[in-house]
Chains A and B, each alone.
Chain A
Amino acid sequence: MFKVKVLIKRRKTILDPQGKAVEIGAKHLGLKNIKNTRIDKYIEFNVDTNNKKAAEDEVNDYCKKLLANPIMEDYEFTLEEIK
């Protein structure tokens, strides 16, 4: 079994209205040096197989077809073997 941690990031060229709005909050807080706030997605799940290659293939499939939208997002992930 593998524990998977996926990070899905919106492409830099695509506006992130949430990040922009949160950064306005930072200004209101008096934090003067905060720049380029981006809000991304972090997803965890397990893959129930002992075959690392099969696990990676399934994670890639999951990311490409459902978790991330390749038009606007990129993803990266790590696998960690667990018992």
Chain B
Amino acid sequence: MKSPKFGVVVFPGSNCDHDTYYVLKKIFDLDVIFLWHKQSSLENCDVIILPGGFSYGDYLRTGSIARFSPIMNEVISFANKGGYVLGICNGFQILLEAGLLPGVMLRNESLNFVCKDIYLKIENKETVFTKGINGKSALKVPIAHGEGNYFTDENTLKELEDNNQIVFKYCEQDGSITSSANPNGSIRNIAGIINKAGNVLGMMPHPERSSDSVLGKTDGSLIFKSLVNNIFN
């Protein structure tokens, strides 16, 4: 089976780029390269990952300046042609600012930076990122963000629901969706959404931080595994 080539974009202020690279290279033994944000070529990558961090110091609004980095023109046209893009945390915020996904991120309702393990319910198991993840009521994956309070207007929300674009929701360990499981005030407990075409996923939790058994949790690796298994099928 052919394996996809991954590109991890490095913005000034990215800080999960090496974690992501490490997981793909050392845990999955995949072809992966770094892509500097000033590059204008995606070097024939099959999947582009916008990693977590604090690109441009989170100035103005999270992701708002990174969205204009030169490589983003390529990422946008790649995504519009059906290329696979995964935005994690700050990467998700950049995807929102770039208009590749709908909605905005507000400051966490508590105003605190929240860094802890949470549980994720997979709401859509038909995406390349989630297909084949079975036997788990919830995935244990860490979050670490100050602005993860996803918000969008009622019409867009309805569209997301009608098109099955909500992929992950914050939940309890048993998979039940409760307000106490919501760490940031996100509307409908949303933790991750996908575009209509199904090739651009944004998620606040960090699967790359829960992919190496040395760290005591590996549920995040299921998302990368799903992607590798399904991308060329």
Bound Cα distance A14, B61 (Å): 15
Given A69-B97, A71-B103, A72-B104, verify A14-B151 contact (CB < 8 Å). yes
Whether a CB of chain A sits under 8 angstroms from the CB of B30 is no
State how many angstroms separate the Cβ of B108 from the closest Cβ of chain A: 7
B64 proximity list for chain A (CB < 8 A): 66, 69
Q: Does A67 contact B (CB under 8 A)?
A: yes
Measured between beta carbons, the chain A residues less than 8 angstroms from B60 are 66-67
A17, B110: Cα distance in complex, Å: 7
Interchain CB contact under 8 A, B104 and A17: no
B111 at the interface (CB under 8 A from A): yes
**Residues of chain A contacted by B103 (CB below 8 angstroms):** 71
Count of A residues near B, CB < 8 Å? 10
Using a CB-CB cutoff of 8 Å, which residues 85-111 of chain B contact chain A?
Answer: 97, 103-104, 106-111
Q: Which residues of A contact B (CB under 8 A)?
A: 14-15, 17-18, 21, 66-67, 69, 71-72
A-B contact list, 23 entries, CB within 8 Å: A14-B151, A15-B106, A15-B109, A15-B151, A15-B185, A17-B106, A17-B107, A17-B111, A17-B149, A17-B185, A18-B107, A21-B111, A66-B60, A66-B64, A66-B65, A67-B60, A69-B61, A69-B104, A71-B103, A71-B104, A71-B152, A72-B106, A72-B151
User: With A17-B111, A17-B149 given, can you name 11 additional A-B contacts, CB distance below 8 Å?
Assistant: A14-B106, A14-B151, A15-B185, A17-B107, A17-B185, A18-B107, A21-B111, A66-B64, A66-B65, A71-B103, A72-B104
